[in-house]
Amino acid sequence: MASPVSFFNVEELNTLSADEINVRVNRVDRLSFALAAAHPVPLRRMLPGLESMDLEVINEYTTTWTRSDGTVCHIYELVLDPNTEGAQGFAANWPKAEQQICDTFRAIWTGRIEADRFNALIPAAGLDWRQVAVLRSYSRYLRQLPLPYGQSRIQQVLLDNPAAAAAAVALFEARFDRQADPTAADDQLGTAIDGLVHIDADRVMRAYRNLINATLRTNAFAPEALGPSAPYLVHKLDAQQIDELPQPRPLSEIFVYSPEFEGVHLRFGLVARGGLRWSDRHDDYRTEVLGLVKAQAVKNAMIVPAGAKGVFVVKSTAPSREDGMRCYQQFVSALLDVVDNAADSDSSAAAPVRHDGADPYLVVAADKGTATFSDVANAVAVGRGYWLGDAFASGGSAGYDHKAMGITARGAWISGDSHLRELGIDSDTDEFRVVGVGDMSGDVFGNGMLLRRGIRLIAAFDHRHIFIDPDPATRDAYGERERLFALARSSWDDYDRAVISAGGGVWPRTAKTIPVSPQMRHALGIDDAAQHVTPTDLIRHILCAPVDLLFNGGIGTYIKASDEQHADVTDKVNDGVRVDASQVRARVIVEGGNLGVSQRGRIEFARRGGHINTDAIDNAAGVDCSDHEVNIKILLAGRHPAADRDALLVEMTDEVAAHVLANNLAHNRLLRDARANAAQMVTTHARMTTALERDRDLHRERENLPSADEFAELAKSGGSLCGPQLATLMAHTKLALKADLLASDDFDDDPHFTAALHRYFPATLRQRMGDQLSEHPLRREIIATSVVNHLLATSGLTYAFRLAEETGATTGEIVRAHAIVSGVFELDALWDDIRAAGLAPALTDDLVIEARRLLDRASRWFLVNRPQPLSIDLECGRFQAVPTLRGKLIEMLRGGELATVNRWREEWEAQGVPTDIARRISDSLYAYSLLDIIEMAHEHDEDATRLAHIYFELSEHLGVDNLLLAVSSLPRSGRWNALARLALREDLYRSLRDLARDVHRLVGAHTDGVDVIEEFESYNRSRIERARRTLQEFQNTENPDLSVLSVATAQLRRLTTGV
C-alpha cells in the first residue's frame, strides 16, 4: 500500500473526528478507493456502498498513521476491478466520477440513502445520488400499488434502460424548474418508452412517467432534503391521475420516503382529517390504510373535514418506541413540507414550484401506535410556525382527553340505548346481559362498561386474557370493573376472583386448554359436551353467546359474513377467533371500536333480525369531539393567550360533549326512522344509489349496496335496505350534499346560515366571541356540515333527493326551502316535542314520518311557486300568518274533513300521544293548504281568513279530500309513478286554489250571511252538475287508478273557468 499521505494530506487526517471518515478515489497505478477514519472500520461496512455502484473490491490494504495527538488513524485502500460495468461507466468521465463515487459513499455512510442496486444508475445513466434517490422513492411507492413487480425487477428495468431512467429524471426536474419545458421532457421520455421492447420495461417506465406527471409538489429540490434536518423525500400526488391506483382514489396522497421509514397520507378533500398510525405491514401499508380511510371518509360525513388517514412503517427489524417517535416526527414534518402555511403563503417566483392550488389545511389525529404522540405532532407544527399551532393534532395535553371524557363510549351507548329501547329494554333502569371485546384499562371498553349500571357482563376478552362471569352480581361486578378502570395498566388478571360467580374465572390466552363449567356452558350457550376448550374456541363461544348486547371496544375484526373468506377481512391476527354473523346470537351489536364487524357481516347480522349500525355511526363521537376541539382552537388562535384558551377549553368540556352526543342521537334517530319506512322507499333508495354512483364517488359493490337487479328483487319481494346499508347511504348522501353546498357561491350569504355557524359552537364560546365567529377560516365548511346534518336529521334520508328529482332544484335551493318551511310551520318545535314525549320508538317514528309529509309538500310548494333563489327571511315574513290561521283550522274545516282530523287526533291520543302533538300531526296536511290561501291573499289583496273559509267549504263540498287520499294510494314504485302522483296532487290543489279565488271574487262583496256554496252553484250549475256526475262515478269506483283520477281531476279543473 502507498503511504497514507499519498491519499490524504496531513491536515485531513489531523482534523478527523471520532465518527468522521474521509474518502478518495485513486487512479494512479491502479483503480482503488481509500477511506480514512479515526477508528477501525470493518470491511463489511465499506463493501455494500461500493458494490451498490457496481464497483467490485478485489483486494484490500490497511495501514495506520499516528497523529501528533496520539490518535491512530486507520487507512484502507480497496482495490477495484476496472472491468465491471460500473467502473466502465465511471471511466467515461473520471474527474466527475471521482466526486460522484465519494459523494455517494458518504451519503450511504451517513444513512442519507440506501446501498442498493439503484446506485448503479450513477455510472450507468450518468446520474448523481440525489437523482437516483428520487427514482428509488417512486419505486417504493410503486411497491404499494397493484403493480406485479418487486423492487429487484424495477431496479433491473431501470438498469437495462438507463436512457429511459435518465429521461424520467429529466422530466421530474423539468416539472419543478420554472425555466424548463416539461412538455418537451415528457415527450422525450415518451419517445424513450416507445423504443422499449420488453412489456415489463414498458409498464414500469409508463408507471414512472405517470407518477412524475401526477406529482404536484416535492421537497426534492430543497437544500435540506435528505439531510440531517429533513432525511426524507416527500411527494404530493394527484391520486386521481395515477393509473395503477385501485379504487377508491383519494383527492391527493402524500408519500414520504426515507432510508429509515416510509409512509403515505391519503386525503379525500382539501379540508380533511384522520389519524396517523404506526404499522408493521411493510409490504402493503397503503392497502391497510386504504381500508381504514374508506371507513374514515364515511365517518367524516358527519363532521366538517373529509376523511383522511396516514400510515408509516419503521424499517429496522425491532424498532423501539423512540425509533417510532423519531420517524413519526419526521413523517409529520414531511407532510407539512408539501402543504401551505396560511399564515405565510409564499407564491413568489423564488418559491418551490407547485402544480395545484392553495392547500393550507392539514390536521391529524392519534391512531394505532401513536395514541400518545399528539403532543409530538403539535410540537413539530408549532416549531415550524404552522398556522394551526397545536390545533394540528387533536387530543394533546392542551386538548380534550377522550378517555377522561368517555366521549367515544358515551356516543356508542347512544346507539346501544336506541337498539335496546326497540327491544323493550331501558338501559338506564333495566339489567341486561353483555359480552365484550376489550378490557377495563381501555378507553372505549373501560368507559363503556361503567356507563350503564344494569350491565351484567357475562364474558369479555382482549389480546391477553379471557374473562368469564356466568351469573354476575350486578352491583358488585360494577364496583370491581370500576376499580380496574382506575388501576393503572390493569388487565382482566387483576379482577378479584371472589367477585366472579361460580363456574367463571380469568385465563391467559396462552393457556393450552380452559375447563368448561356447567355455568359457563349455560351462560355462553355451549352445546357440545367438551369438558375443555382452547382459548381460541372459548373466544368464538363468547362472540356467539346468547346475550342482549355484544360491545366491541377492542382492536380487530371479529365477525364476518358467512360467504366471506378470512383473507377478505385483512385482519390475519384474528382469523382463528373470527365467527360468521349467522352464528352470532346477541340481539344487538355496538361497535365502539373500529371495524369490529365487516360490512358484509353487519348486513348478514341485520338481515337475520339483529340490531346494528356501523362503526362509523357508533364511534363517531370521538371523531366529532376532535373536530370541535380543532375548530375551537382555530377560532381562538391569536385571540386568547394560551393559558386563557386552555382554561376556556376545560370550561366548555361538558358543552362540547353535549353537542357531540346530540349529533350521535340525531344519527341514530335518522337511521331508525329510515328503517321504519325502508320497504316503502326501496325504489327511491335504488335511484339514490344510482345517482350517487353516477355523479359521485359511490361504488355500490365496494360499499355492499345492492345492484340494480338486486334492488328490483327487493322491491318485488317487499324487502328493503337494512340498517348498515342505510348508514352507508346516509353518509354518502351527506357527503354529496355538503359538496354541493360548498361548490355554490351564495348558500351561506343568508343570515339563517350564519346562525347555523353559531349553533355549531358551545354557548360559552358564542357569548365570548360574538361576531368573531364569522371570521372562522372554515366558516363555509362548518355551515355546510351543520346545515346538512340538521336537514337530514329533521327531513329524513330521501328528502333532498326526492325534491331535486321532482323539481330540479339545487341543493342550495332545497336547504332554503327546508329552512322556510321549518320556520313557517314551527317544525323544529314539533320535532323536539315528539322526541321529548317519551313514547315508544315505533310510535315516535310513525309521528315523525307522518309530520314529514307536511315538510315534503310545503318544501315542494315553495320551490315551485315562489321566486328563486328563496330569501328565508322574506318568505318567513310573507307567510307569518300561518300559525294564526292554523289555530283556526278546526273552525274552518267542514264535514268529512273535520271528522278526519278529529278521528286522527283521537287515534293518536289513544296511543298515548299528548293532545297538542296529536292535533299538530292530525291537521298538518290541511295546514299545508294555508300556503295557497295566504299566497292568494297577497296576490289579490284579499282577507286570508275569509279566503280560507271559502277554500275549505269548497274542498268539502267537492270531495277534494277523497281525491287526494286516492292519489296517495296510487302505486309508489318507480320514479314516473311518483311524478304522476305529484302532478295529480298539485293539479288538485291548484284547481281548488283557483276555484276559491274565483268564488271569493263572486261573493266577496256580499255579507257574511251569504251561503257561499249556494251562491257558487247558482252561477255555475250546469258545469257543476257535469263535474258532480264524474266525481260521483269516481266515488263508486273501487281502487281508482291513474286514469280515473286524471279524469276526475280534469273535471275539477274545468270548474275554475266561467265563474
pLDDT of residue 293: 83
Distance, in Å, from the CA atom of 411 to the CA atom of 662, rounded to the nearest integer, reads: 9
Burial status of residue 726 (CB atoms within 10 A of its CB: 0-12, 13-18, 19 or more) = buried
3-state DSSP assignment of residue 237: strand
Q: 219-392, which class in CATH?
A: alpha beta
Cβ neighbours, 10 Å, residue 515: 13
Assign 3-class secondary structure to 56-87.
CEEEEEEEEEECCCCCEEEEEEEEECCCCHHH
Beta bridge partners of 508: 465
Residues constituting the chain: 1059
Per-domain residue ranges for the chain? 4-110, 130-216, 219-392, 403-618
Task: Please calculate the CA angle 966-845-894 and round it to the nearest 5 degrees.
Answer: 40
* Grid cell at residue 650: 376545560
Cα-based torsion angle of the residue sequence 559, 563, 568, 573 in order, rounded to the nearest 10 degrees: 40
Buried b (16+ CB within 10 A) or exposed e, 216-225: bbbbbeeeeb
Amino acid at 238: D
* Grid cell at residue 999: 268564488
CATH code 3.30.70 for 4-110: yes
Burial status of residue 635 (CB atoms within 10 A of its CB: 0-12, 13-18, 19 or more) = buried
Are the folds of 4-110 and 219-392 the same?
no
CA 1007, 1008, 1011, 1015 torsion: positive or negative?
Answer: positive
Buried b (16+ CB within 10 A) or exposed e, 822-838: bbbbebeebbeebeeee
Helix (H) or strand (E) holding 267, with range, is strand 261-267
Give phi and psi for 253, each to the nearest 5: -130, 145
Dihedral-angle region of residue 395 (phi above 0 means left; psi in -120 to 50 means alpha; beta otherwise): left
Distance, in Å, from the CA atom of 543 to the CA atom of 547, rounded to the nearest integer, reads: 10
pLDDT of residue 596: 93
pLDDT of residue 1007: 44
pLDDT along the chain (1059 residues), means of 10: 71 87 90 94 95 96 91 94 95 92 96 96 96 97 93 95 97 92 95 94 96 97 93 96 90 96 94 90 89 79 88 93 95 96 61 89 88 92 91 86 93 97 95 97 94 97 96 96 95 97 96 95 90 96 98 94 92 93 98 93 97 94 92 88 88 96 95 93 95 90 94 94 96 94 81 88 92 90 94 96 93 96 96 93 92 95 93 94 93 88 94 96 92 91 87 77 67 67 74 78 60 66 63 65 67 61
pTM recorded for the entire structure: 0.87
3-state DSSP assignment of residue 217: strand
- To the nearest 10 degrees (0 to 180), the angle between helices 1042-1054 and 960-968 is 150
pLDDT of residue 1058: 45
* Grid cell at residue 158: 431501470
- Non-local (6+) Cβ contacts of 356 within 8 A are 216, 217, 236, 238, 252
Give CA separation, 213 vs 209, 258, 588, in Å.
Answer: 6, 21, 50
DSSP state of 148: S
Catalytic option among 299, 309, 734, 738: 309
Of 587, 583, 576, 582, give the one whose Cα is nearest residue 547.
Answer: 587
Pairing of strands 588-591, 261-267: unpaired
Task: Please calculate the CA angle 1026-954-1015 and round it to the nearest 5 degrees.
Answer: 75
Distance, in Å, from the CA atom of 269 to the CA atom of 267, rounded to the nearest integer, reads: 6
Query: What CATH superfamily is the domain 403-618?
Result: NAD(P)-binding Rossmann-like Domain (3.40.50.720)
pLDDT of residue 1020: 65
* Grid cell at residue 496: 378479584
Pairing of strands 514-515, 532-533: antiparallel
Is 888 known to be catalytic? no
Cβ neighbours, 10 Å, residue 341: 16
